[in-house]
Amino acid sequence: MFTGIIREVGTLLSRREAGDTYLRIACRRAPETIETGASIACNGICLTVMETGTEDGRNWFEAAASAETKDKTTLGAWQPGQRINLEPALRLGDELGGHIVSGHIDGVGEITAIRAEGDSHRLSLRAPDALARFIASKGSVCIDGISLTVNEVDGPAFGVNIIPHTWSVTSLAGAEPGGQVNLEIDLLARYVARLNEMAG
Ordered by start, the domain boundaries in the chain are: 8-88, 107-199
CATH topology of domain 107-199: Elongation Factor Tu (Ef-tu); domain 3 (2.40.30)
For the domain covering 8-88, report its CATH number.
2.40.30.20
User: The whole model's pTM is what?
Assistant: 0.93
- How far, in Å, CA of 150 to CA of 97, rounded? 16
Please write the tens of the pLDDT for every residue from 6-41.
999 999 999 999 999 999 999 999 999 999 999 999
Cα 125–chain centre separation: 15
Cα distances (angstroms) measured from residue 4 to each of 24, 45, 49, 101, 148? 22, 11, 19, 6, 8
Query: At residue 70, what are phi and psi to the nearest 5 degrees?
Result: -60, -40
- Identical fold for domains 8-88 and 107-199, yes or no, is yes
pLDDT reported for residue 198: 72
Amino acid at the residue 29: R
Three-class SS state of 6 = coil
Give the residue among 43, 44, 51, 37 at the shortest CA–CA distance from 12.
43
State the pLDDT at residue 61.
98
The 10s digit of each residue's pLDDT in 151-188 is 999 999 999 999 999 999 999 999 999 999 999 998 87
Helix (H) or strand (E) holding 185: strand 180-185
User: Do 148 and 160 meet the contact criterion of CB atoms below 8 Å apart?
Assistant: yes
Cβ neighbour number for residue 180 with a 10 Å cutoff: 14
Q: How many CA atoms lie within 13 A of 7 on its CB side?
A: 15
